[in-house]
Amino acid sequence: RPLPSPPPPAPTVPAKPQAPPQRWAYESQPAPAKRGRTGLKSLAYFSVGLLLAMLLFILVVAGGGLLYLYRSDLILPGTTVGNLDVSWRTTGEATVLLEQQWQTQGILLTSDTLNQVMTPATLGLSLDIPPAINAAYAQGRSWETLQALIEGQTAHFTPTLYFDEGAARRNLESLAPQYAVEPVSADIQQVGGLVEAVPASPGRRLDVAATLAPLQQNAAEVLAEGELPLVIPTVPPERGDVRAVVNAANQLLANTVQISAYDPISDETVTWEVTGEEWRPWVSVWLDENRPGGFGWELDQEQAQAALAARFDDPEALRYLPGEEIGPAIIAAIVGQRWMVDNLRLYHRPQNHTVQPGETLSSIGFDYGMPYPWLEAANPNLGSSLSPGQVITIPSPDELLPLPVIENKRIMVSLSEQKAWIYENGEVKWEWLASTGIDSSPTAPGIFQVQTHQANAYAANWDLWMPDFMGIYRPAPSVDFMNGFHGFPTRNGSTLLWTGDLGHPVTFGCILLDSQNAAKLFAWAEAGVVVEIRP
């Protein structure tokens, strides 16, 4: 207790000016009587009594104060609960303060992407405050604690911390979606027709069990630090590398389709290429681990058909590949990954001819290799004569080749040389003398085709039986007979004709061969073999 302040000094009174000494007459006085010992003792006893009374008063006051403190609800000084000084506070006040502090306390959940503060209660932590307050209240209310208090020692009490793992787990699991990033597997995409890799990206998932471990091991330490690191491991994608798939797909898309088509009119094979750059825009590619190479692909056949028809079936070109044939053939080659298209046939369009002075239908047909009655049929409005500058239509030579062409065989006949050459695989197999039509019934030059086989054909107009007959063209579109190859004919069933005339025009439009040669040719030349008759 603080000592009482000393009383203030008494005010000083200035001394009065002294009068000059006076003179008095001296008279002798009797000596004073001496004080006895009894009076001194009484004074001493009084002083001691007063002192004892004062001490007793002090003790009574102090005792009363201590008794008041003991019986009051106040917590004695030098006492802390947790990190809160509760000295001179009632237990109720201390409890409220601790609860307020607990409710406002937060734990920072840390991660690389998102930090957030949560209350301890959310993480399953609870504080048992009343026992700690009771212990703080008891401080100084026993002899031992009173002695420590008198000696100036402080007392610290820690509330018991409880951890509810189930509550913490549930609340962390509810937070998991905020931190979840689904892994994305590598994929492929087409850019400019080629295939490129779309890189994989790893995912992230909150590991609740690993995050709870520090709380399970030492929840008080986590609370004291005010921080709980979230454990968010990387989740690898299911498919991380598609480079092999990209390489395989681009190898497929780099293939070139080789195309060859035979032109029976010119007896040549023409080749083209459809490169990967041209056909891969028609293709869509996707990942499919169940297919060879790890990818699937599909050709847009409508797009392919339109593009191929535009390239090979140009209506302005005289020679063409029909779109309805070339499109499906190339599409089938790409889909089947064969990369070769052959056995195609080039076709020719009709063309216009401007009549020159002196030309006739017969001469024009001769020049184009077309029997003139076919020109008449193609130009029904010609009239009786041609005029220079007149434009007429020349039919397509393909009209005279209605059957599929046999490419490795060809028969050539020369009107001027009266010979026949038989070719197989580009080489001459046979060379024979032949006889063609007389001037009044000539054999037409042009490109024709073996169309019929008759062991012994009858020509009613001339009453002829023609052995090993092979028809190659109709002199006119409307007639039902053909000119063709045959051996020496007979009349009346017995007489052989023209046996000595080989090498000279003698027939009525057919090509005469020695009967043995005609039999060989009849057996060798199947329907579709091209016959080229040159002037």
Q: What is the pLDDT of residues 488-514, one digit of tens each?
A: 999 987 789 999 999 999 999 999 999
* CATH class of the domain at 406-534: mainly beta
Range with the largest mean pLDDT of 10-19, 168-177, 512-521: 512-521
Instruction: Assess contact for 408 and 424: CB atoms under 8 A.
Output: yes
The pLDDT, as a whole number, for residue 3 is 41
More confident residue, 74 or 422: 422
Rg of the chain over all Cα atoms, to the nearest angstrom:
64
Q: What is the mean pLDDT of residues 18-30?
A: 45
The pLDDT, as a whole number, for residue 29 is 46
pLDDT-based confidence at 353, cuts 50/70/90? very high
Alpha-carbon gap, residue 169 to 174, rounded angstroms: 9
Alpha-carbon gap, residue 533 to 209, rounded angstroms: 94
Alpha-carbon gap, residue 261 to 320, rounded angstroms: 10
Enter the pTM of the model: 0.66
Q: Terminal CA-to-CA distance of the chain, rounded, Å?
A: 150
More confident residue, 193 or 1: 193
Find the range with the poorest average confidence among 34-48, 285-299, 521-535: 34-48
What string of DSSP letters covers 51-90? Answer: HHHHHHHHHHHHHHHHHHHHHSSBPPSSEEETTEE-TT-B
Q: Encode pLDDT of 142-154 as tens digits.
A: 766 666 667 667 8
Q: For residue 433, is pLDDT > 80?
A: yes
Q: Encode pLDDT of 173-192 as tens digits.
A: 999 999 999 999 999 999 99
Find the range with the poorest average confidence among 131-140, 308-317, 342-351, 415-424: 131-140
Q: Of the candidates 300, 322, 302, which has an alpha carbon nearest to the alpha carbon of residue 311?
A: 322
- Which residue shows structure tokens 């009084």? 46
Q: Encode pLDDT of 204-221 as tens digits.
A: 999 999 999 999 999 999
Alpha-carbon gap, residue 56 to 49, rounded angstroms: 10
| pLDDT > 70: percent of the chain | 89
Average pLDDT, the chain: 89
Instruction: Assess contact for 284 and 297: CB atoms under 8 A.
Output: yes
Alpha-carbon gap, residue 329 to 343, rounded angstroms: 10
> How far from 516 is each of 120, 172, 443, 486, CA to CA, in Å?
115, 103, 22, 10
Extract the runs of DSSP E, i.e. beta strands, from 384-424: 391-394, 406-414, 419-424
pLDDT-based confidence at 24, cuts 50/70/90? very low
The pLDDT, as a whole number, for residue 177 is 94
Q: Where in the chain is the domain with CATH 2.40.440.10?
A: 406-534
* Fold topology of 351-395: Membrane-bound Lytic Murein Transglycosylase D; Chain A (3.10.350)
Give exposure, 275-297, as e/b (b: 16+ Cβ within 10 Å): ebebbbbbbebebeeeeebbbeb
Find the range with the poorest average confidence among 396-405, 486-495, 516-525: 486-495
- Which residue shows structure tokens 């995050």? 211
The pLDDT, as a whole number, for residue 380 is 93
Alpha-carbon gap, residue 484 to 489, rounded angstroms: 13
Overall size of the chain counted in residues: 535
107-110/116-118 β-pairing: antiparallel
Residue 205 CB: number of other CB atoms within 10 A?
17
Q: Encode pLDDT of 224-278 as tens digits.
A: 999 999 999 999 999 999 999 999 999 999 999 999 999 999 999 999 999 999 9
Instruction: Assess contact for 353 and 392: CB atoms under 8 A.
Output: yes
Q: Where in the chain is the domain with CATH 3.10.350.10?
A: 351-395
The pLDDT, as a whole number, for residue 521 is 99
The pLDDT, as a whole number, for residue 111 is 92
Alpha-carbon gap, residue 513 to 510, rounded angstroms: 10
| pLDDT > 90: percent of the chain | 72
Instruction: Assess contact for 288 and 296: CB atoms under 8 A.
Output: yes
